[in-house]
């Protein structure tokens, strides 16, 4: 066995005088060498407790943690050869950037020390050369080339986390444990840093476990995502696996699926046809989960009643648009899915249209940026099959 093996791990904390909280409730998980796995779940589901148990910072109430087939349960934290990185980076304020990274180099494991811990020079970017060159290479790796002499007090939050990452990678840990490393940053910075974090982990072939409550971050950084809830693992899979085949409603909700409809309901038939067209036929009895964008406002097929679909330039799209023609939806083509507009917001170069669809309820449809739709108007909707998933019949997760 290579990589990390977590078996039936239980972590408990005292709660009150007699009670205990079971924060991790029998979790098993393997992480292959060079693989990045994200632990994803809502606040309090036990992600950090599991990570801390792997690190050796929390005692196990049951189960075991092994690396490369050897149990580490009796190995103290600093002898496990695991690196840790936290939300706030915890840089040394009195050292400059280079000094912080060099501190990580000082802790580098040497080849052959301890079982499975040593890896000789393997062509990684900072494996050779003197210490200053290694620091420079690490700073280049995290996109901070030339930052060495900067006092850390002068860095932005994102830059600090990049330094913390360089420092954490410097000793070439056989496993890097990252606890919400980006969550103190604002969203756009987080998105950019997530991409860079993955690039740095892949370039250094670092085996890593990342804790996050942010689905986008988990999907951007990890090869596989482990969804946790109430101390248990609900599903582990690649981002594509999870997105297309959530194990159940709780996983789907956590990934951002916002509406659910039994496949046999009338309202589900257009969705079912769209899945059939993609070769993703769904059997009777399943439930369809709809993510944002499962419907797209279909301007070409018309809008009716008290509103109209207008493109950004003001041109009326769709010949069937009428104002005030009695009866909501009167002018929308037969056979089209119809939705009553509840409101429109613009985000990231597109419009998100909250629409109420008969038999399904309120969902978020997409439309071109600048589209003007009055609340109460009825729009035709087409289905985007990629944003629809079928939940298995027995999916309890």
Ligand X SMILES: Nc1ncnc2c1ncn2[C@@H]1O[C@H](COP(=O)(O)OP(=O)(O)OP(=O)(O)O)[C@@H](O)[C@H]1O
One of 3, 41, 148, 339 touching ligand X (CB under 6 A) = 41
Our CA angle for 8, 205, 89, nearest 5°, is 75
Q: Is residue 44 close enough to count as binding ligand X by CB under 6 A?
A: yes
Site string for ligand X, 197-236 (x = CB under 6 A): ----------------x-----------------------
One of 2, 21, 64, 87 touching ligand X (CB under 6 A) = 21
Smallest gap, in angstroms, from Cβ of residue 289 to ligand X? 23
**Per CB under 6 A, which of residues 320..349 are in contact with ligand X?**
none
One of 8, 13, 264, 312 touching ligand X (CB under 6 A) = 13
> Please, are residues 340 and 377 in contact by the beta-carbon 8 Å criterion?
yes
Choose the binding region for ligand X from 42-50, 130-138, 165-173, 377-385 (rule: CB under 6 A). 42-50
Taking the least distance from each CB to ligand X, the nearer of 41 and 302 is 41
> Please, are residues 304 and 378 in contact by the beta-carbon 8 Å criterion?
yes
Nearest-angstrom CA–CA distance, 236 and 107: 33
Choose the binding region for ligand X from 36-44, 253-261, 350-358, 359-367 (rule: CB under 6 A). 36-44
Site string for ligand X, 78-107 (x = CB under 6 A): ------------------------------
**What 3 state SS string does the chain have?**
CCCEEEEEEEEEEEECCCEEEEEEEEEEEEECCCCEEEEECCCCCCHHHHHHHHHCCCCCCEEEEEECCEECCCCCHHHCCEEEEECCCCCCCCCEHHHHHHHHHHCCCCCCCCCCCCCCCCCCCCCCCCHHHHHHHHHHHCCCCCCCCCEHHHCCHHHHHHHHHHHHHCCCCCEEEEECCCCCCCHHHHHHHHHHHHHHHHHCCCCEEEEECCHHHHHHHCCEEEEEECCEEEEEECHHHHHHCCCCHHHHHHHCCCEEEECCCHHHHHHHHHHHHCCCCCCCCCEEEECCCCEEECHHHCEECCCCCECCCCCECCCCCCCCCCCCCCCCCCCCEEEEEEEEEEECCEEEEEEEECCCEEEEEEEECCCECCCCCEEEEEECHHHEEEECCCCCC
Smallest gap, in angstroms, from Cβ of residue 17 to ligand X? 13
Q: Is residue 12 close enough to count as binding ligand X by CB under 6 A?
A: no
Q: Is residue 45 close enough to count as binding ligand X by CB under 6 A?
A: yes
- For residue 277, which of 380, 356, 382 has the smallest C-alpha distance? 382
Q: Is residue 46 close enough to count as binding ligand X by CB under 6 A?
A: yes
Smallest gap, in angstroms, from Cβ of residue 14 to ligand X? 7
Smallest gap, in angstroms, from Cβ of residue 87 to ligand X? 9
Smallest gap, in angstroms, from Cβ of residue 49 to ligand X? 3
Q: Is residue 47 close enough to count as binding ligand X by CB under 6 A?
A: yes
One of 4, 6, 9, 23 touching ligand X (CB under 6 A) = 23
Q: Is residue 18 close enough to count as binding ligand X by CB under 6 A?
A: no
Nearest-angstrom CA–CA distance, 209 and 227: 13
One of 43, 106, 315, 335 touching ligand X (CB under 6 A) = 43
Smallest gap, in angstroms, from Cβ of residue 31 to ligand X? 18
Smallest gap, in angstroms, from Cβ of residue 226 to ligand X? 12
Taking the least distance from each CB to ligand X, the nearer of 13 and 92 is 13
Q: Is residue 396 close enough to count as binding ligand X by CB under 6 A?
A: no
Taking the least distance from each CB to ligand X, the nearer of 214 and 321 is 214
Choose the binding region for ligand X from 43-51, 100-108, 327-335, 349-357 (rule: CB under 6 A). 43-51
Taking the least distance from each CB to ligand X, the nearer of 24 and 166 is 24
Taking the least distance from each CB to ligand X, the nearer of 43 and 188 is 43
- For residue 170, which of 251, 231, 83, 255 has the smallest C-alpha distance? 83
Binding stretches for ligand X (CB under 6 A): 13, 21, 23, 41, 43-49, 213
């Amino acid at each position: 066995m290579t990589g990390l093996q977590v078996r039936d791990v239980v972590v408990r904390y005292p709660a009150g005088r007699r009670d205990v909280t079971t924060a991790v409730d029998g979790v098993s998980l393997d992480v292959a060498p060079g693989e990045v796995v994200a632990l994803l779940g809502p606040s309090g589901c036990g992600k950090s407790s599991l990570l801390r148990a792997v690190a050796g910072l929390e005692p196990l109430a049951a189960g075991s943690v092994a690396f490369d087939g050897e149990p580490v349960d009796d190995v103290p934290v600093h002898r496990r050869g695991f690196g840790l990185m936290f939300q706030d980076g915890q840089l040394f304020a009195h050292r400059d950037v280079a000094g912080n990274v060099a501190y990580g180099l000082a802790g580098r494991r040497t080849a052959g020390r301890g079982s499975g811990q040593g890896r000789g020079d393997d062509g990684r970017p900072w494996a050779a050369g003197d210490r200053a060159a290694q620091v420079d290479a690490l700073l280049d790796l995290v996109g901070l080339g030339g930052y060495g002499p900067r006092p850390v007090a002068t860095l932005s939050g994102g830059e600090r986390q990049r330094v913390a990452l360089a420092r954490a990678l410097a000793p070439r840990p056989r496993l890097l444990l990252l606890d919400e490393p980006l969550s103190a940053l604002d969203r756009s910075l987080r998105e950019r840093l997530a991409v860079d974090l993955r690039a740095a982990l892949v370039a250094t072939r670092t085996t890593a476990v990342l804790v996050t409550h942010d689905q986008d971050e988990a999907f951007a950084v990890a090869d596989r995502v482990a969804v946790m809830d109430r101390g248990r693992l609900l599903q582990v899979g690649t981002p594509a696996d999870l997105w297309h085949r959530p194990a159940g409603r709780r996983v789907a909700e956590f990934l951002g699926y916002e509406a659910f409809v039994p496949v046999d309901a009338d309202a589900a038939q257009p969705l079912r046809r769209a899945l059939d067209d993609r070769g993703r036929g769904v059997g009777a009895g399943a439930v369809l989960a709809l993510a944002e964008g499962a419907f797209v406002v279909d301007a070409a097929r018309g809008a009716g009643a008290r509103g109209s679909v207008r493109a950004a330039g003001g041109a009326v799209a769709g010949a069937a648009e009428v104002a005030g023609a009695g009866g909501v939806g009167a002018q929308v083509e037969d056979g089209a899915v119809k939705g009553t507009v509840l409101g429109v917001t613009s985000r990231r170069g597109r419009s998100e249209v909250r629409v109420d669809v008969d038999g399904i309820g309120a969902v978020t449809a997409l439309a071109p940026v600048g589209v003007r739709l009055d609340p109460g108007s009825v729009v035709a909707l087409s289905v985007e099959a990629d944003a629809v998933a079928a939940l298995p019949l027995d999916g309890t997760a």
